[in-house]
A and B are shown apart, each in its own frame.
Chain A
Amino acid sequence: MEQEQGWADLQINALSKSFRDPKGAQVHALDGVSLSIPAGEFIVLLGPSGCGKTTLLRSIAGFEKIDSGHINLGGNRIDLLPPHKRPVNTVFQSYALFPHMSVAQNIAFGLENEKIDKNEVKARVGQVLELVKLTELADRKPSQMSGGQQQRAALARALAKKPKVLLLDEPLAALDLKLRKSMQFELKRIHRATGTTFVFVTHDQNEAMALGDRIAVFNQGKLQQVGTPFEIYTAPASEFVANFIGESTLLQGKISGQIFEGDGLRITNLNQDINANASAKLIVRPEAFTLMQGQTSCGKVEIKEVIFAGDSLEALLVTQSGHEVKVKTGASLLSQLNVGQSVELFVDVNQIGQIA
Chain B
Amino acid sequence: MKLRPITQREPGIYGPGSVALPAYVTGILLVGLPLIVVIVFSFLQRGEFGSGVIHKFTLDAYRTVFFETDLMGNQSLNFSFLKIIFRSIMLAFTVTVICLIVGIPTAIWIALQKKSTQRILIALVTIPFWVNVLARTYAWMLLLADGGLFNQIGAPVLLYTSWATFIGLTYAFLPFMVLPIYASAEKLDKSILEAAFDLGASGWRVLIRIVIPMIRFGIFAGIAIVFIPALGAYVQPSLLGGNKSMLIGSLINDQFGESRNWPVGSALAVLLLLMTALILLATRRRKLEFAS
Evaluate contact between B195 and A161: CB separation under 8 angstroms. Answer: no
Evaluate contact between A83 and B198: CB separation under 8 angstroms. Answer: yes
Evaluate contact between A94 and B189: CB separation under 8 angstroms. Answer: yes
Could you tell me the distance between the alpha carbons of A109 and B194 in the complex, rounded to whole angstroms? 13
Query: Which of A96-104, A276-284, A310-318 binds B?
Result: A96-104
Could you tell me the distance between the alpha carbons of A89 and B198 in the complex, rounded to whole angstroms? 6
Chain A's closest residue to B290 (CB) is: A100
Residues B63-105 near A (CB distance < 8 A): none
Q: Name the A residues within 8 Å of B196 (CB-CB).
A: 98, 109
Q: Which residue of B189, B192, B200 is within 8 Å of A110 (Cβ)?
A: B200
Residues A157-197 near B (CB distance < 8 A): 157-158, 161
Q: How far is the CB of B201 from chain A (nearest CB, A)?
A: 5
Chain B's closest residue to A58 (CB) is: B194
Q: Which residue of B200, B213, B214 is within 8 Å of A113 (Cβ)?
A: B200
Evaluate contact between A89 and B199: CB separation under 8 angstroms. Answer: yes
Evaluate contact between B201 and A113: CB separation under 8 angstroms. Answer: yes
Q: Which residue of B197, B210, B290 is within 8 Å of A84 (Cβ)?
A: B197
Evaluate contact between B213 and A100: CB separation under 8 angstroms. Answer: yes
Could you tell me the distance between the alpha carbons of A93 and B194 in the complex, rounded to whole angstroms? 12
A90 CB–B CB distance under 8 Å? yes
Given A84-B201, A113-B200, answer yes or no on A98-B194 (Cβ-Cβ < 8 Å).
no
Q: Name the A residues within 8 Å of B205 (CB-CB).
A: 113
Q: Residues 185-209 of chain B: 1 if any A CB is under 8 Å from the residue's CB, otherwise 0?
A: 0000101101111111110010001
Evaluate contact between B213 and A96: CB separation under 8 angstroms. Answer: no
Q: Residues 1-41 of chain B: 1 if any A CB is under 8 Å from the residue's CB, otherwise 0?
A: 10100000000000000000000000000000000000000
Could you tell me the distance between the alpha carbons of A98 and B200 in the complex, rounded to whole angstroms? 14
Q: Which residue of B3, B197, B199, B210 is within 8 Å of A157 (Cβ)?
A: B199
Q: Name the B residues within 8 Å of A109 (CB-CB).
A: 196, 199, 201, 209
A63 CB–B CB distance under 8 Å? yes
Q: Which residue of A63, A100, A110, A144 is within 8 Å of B194 (Cβ)?
A: A63
Q: Residues 193-223 of chain A: 1 if any B CB is under 8 Å from the residue's CB, otherwise 0?
A: 0000000000000000000000000000000
Q: How far is the CB of A166 from chain B (nearest CB, A)?
A: 11
Could you tell me the distance between the alpha carbons of A96 and B210 in the complex, rounded to whole angstroms? 12
A61 CB–B CB distance under 8 Å? yes
**Total A-B residue contacts, Cβ distance less than 8 Å:** 65
Q: Name the B residues within 8 Å of A92 (CB-CB).
A: 191, 194-195
Count residues of A near B (Cβ-Cβ below 8 Å). 26
Could you tell me the distance between the alpha carbons of A90 and B214 in the complex, rounded to whole angstroms? 21
Evaluate contact between A100 and B199: CB separation under 8 angstroms. Answer: no
A26 CB–B CB distance under 8 Å? no
Q: Which residue of A94, A99, A100, A114 is within 8 Å of B200 (Cβ)?
A: A114
Evaluate contact between B201 and A96: CB separation under 8 angstroms. Answer: no
A143 CB–B CB distance under 8 Å? yes
Q: Name the B residues within 8 Å of A90 (CB-CB).
A: 194-195, 198
Q: How far is the CB of A145 from chain B (nearest CB, A)?
A: 9
Evaluate contact between B191 and A96: CB separation under 8 angstroms. Answer: yes
Q: Name the A residues within 8 Å of B192 (CB-CB).
A: 96-99
Could you tell me the distance between the alpha carbons of A73 and B192 in the complex, rounded to whole angstroms? 25
Q: Name the B residues within 8 Å of A99 (CB-CB).
A: 192, 214
Q: How far is the CB of B82 from chain A (nearest CB, A)?
A: 39
Residues A87-124 near B (CB distance < 8 A): 89-90, 92-94, 96-100, 109-110, 113-114
Could you tell me the distance between the alpha carbons of A99 and B194 in the complex, rounded to whole angstroms? 14
Q: How far is the CB of B84 from chain A (nearest CB, A)?
A: 40
Q: Which residue of B194, B200, B209, B290 is within 8 Å of A96 (Cβ)?
A: B194
Evaluate contact between B198 and A84: CB separation under 8 angstroms. Answer: yes
Q: Residues 138-155 of chain B: 1 if any A CB is under 8 Å from the residue's CB, otherwise 0?
A: 000000000000000000
Residue among B205, B209, B214 with most chain A CB within 10 A: B209
Q: Name the B residues within 8 Å of A62 (CB-CB).
A: 197
Q: How far is the CB of B199 from chain A (nearest CB, A)?
A: 3
Could you tell me the distance between the alpha carbons of A63 and B205 in the complex, rounded to whole angstroms? 18
Q: How far is the CB of A142 from chain B (nearest CB, A)?
A: 10
Q: How far is the CB of A120 from chain B (nearest CB, A)?
A: 15
Q: Name the B residues within 8 Å of A114 (CB-CB).
A: 200
Evaluate contact between A84 and B200: CB separation under 8 angstroms. Answer: yes
Q: How far is the CB of A246 from chain B (nearest CB, A)?
A: 33
Given A99-B214, A100-B213, A113-B205, answer yes or no on A94-B199 (Cβ-Cβ < 8 Å).
no
Evaluate contact between A83 and B213: CB separation under 8 angstroms. Answer: no
Could you tell me the distance between the alpha carbons of A161 and B199 in the complex, rounded to whole angstroms? 7
Given A96-B189, A98-B210, answer yes or no on A83-B3 (Cβ-Cβ < 8 Å).
no
Evaluate contact between A100 and B214: CB separation under 8 angstroms. Answer: yes
Q: How far is the CB of A158 from chain B (nearest CB, A)?
A: 8
Could you tell me the distance between the alpha carbons of A311 and B285 in the complex, rounded to whole angstroms? 62
Q: How far is the CB of B184 from chain A (nearest CB, A)?
A: 12
Q: How far is the CB of B108 from chain A (nearest CB, A)?
A: 16
Chain B's closest residue to A160 (CB) is: B199
Q: How far is the CB of A239 from chain B (nearest CB, A)?
A: 35
Evaluate contact between B198 and A61: CB separation under 8 angstroms. Answer: yes
Q: Name the B residues within 8 Å of A93 (CB-CB).
A: 191
Q: Which residues of B contact A (CB under 8 A)?
A: 1, 3, 189, 191-192, 194-202, 205, 209-210, 213-214, 290
Q: A96-B194, A109-B201, A113-B200 are in contact. List 15 more A-B contacts (CB 8 A).
A: A62-B197, A84-B198, A84-B199, A85-B200, A89-B199, A90-B198, A92-B195, A93-B191, A94-B189, A96-B192, A98-B192, A100-B214, A109-B196, A109-B209, A144-B1
Question: Can you pick out 10 interface pairs between chain A and chain B where the beta carbons lie within 8 Å of each other?
Answer: A83-B197, A84-B199, A90-B195, A92-B194, A98-B195, A99-B192, A100-B214, A110-B200, A113-B202, A158-B198
- The 5 A-B pairs with the shortest beta carbon distances in the complex, nearest first, are A110-B199, A96-B195, A113-B200, A96-B191, A83-B197
